[in-house]
Amino acid sequence: MNQGPRYLEGTTVGSGRDIIGVRRDRIALIIEQGKEVITRAKHQKILPETVTGATAALLVTIAGYAEPLSEGQWRELAGVVGGIMRDAEYGDLARLRTLVTPEQFMTVTRNQGYGRFIRRLDDGRWVCELTPVLDEIPDE
């Protein structure tokens, strides 16, 4: 009855109509890369030593995704990431979505302490300043 990799699906918080489908293996990679970037940022004193809860989910998501994210995409994906970071079982997406509220998102994006870590692009999407861009990755 194995039907291949499962997808976590839901409506994007920002638009209310876009359907996202993110493979679980992609979520695991986002978390792994995000945690590495967060660790590096803490060592470089860009982030405080204590980043927990929804803030950690938001920061790990934007750091690990490695591509610009809209607010809706970031919040949606961070809800999933936050739930997985807390629980080994994949919970109900609707429940996890409540982890990252619009207020929590605004708290993170307005916090001057995170200004060296995240940046808003001209088109309104968000990126992590510490995530390597393709130009920085050497050719094999």
Of 14, 97, 7, nearest in space to 58 by CA: 97
Of 41, 88, 29, 35, nearest in space to 57 by CA: 35
DSSP classification of residue 134: G
Q: How confident is the model at residue 140, as a pLDDT? A: 55
pLDDT in tens, 39-62: 888 888 888 877 777 888 899 999
Altogether, the residues listed in the chain come to a count of 140
User: Parallel, antiparallel, or unpaired: how do β-strands 7-11 and 19-23 relate?
Assistant: antiparallel
Of 49, 42, 101, 94, nearest in space to 71 by CA: 101
- Sole residue written with tokens 């499962």: 6
pTM, to two decimals: 0.71
Distance CA 56, CA 85 (A): 9
Q: How confident is the model at residue 6, as a pLDDT? A: 47
- Sole residue written with tokens 């808003």: 120
Q: Give the up-direction half-sphere exposure of residue 122: CA atoms within 13 A in the CB hemisphere.
A: 0
Per-residue pLDDT of the chain (140 residues; tens, 9 = 90+): 444 444 444 444 443 333 456 777 788 888 889 989 988 888 888 888 777 778 888 999 999 998 899 998 898 888 888 877 765 554 455 555 667 888 889 988 998 888 889 999 999 999 998 876 555 555 55
Token pair, residue 15, equals 């638009």
Q: How confident is the model at residue 20, as a pLDDT? A: 54
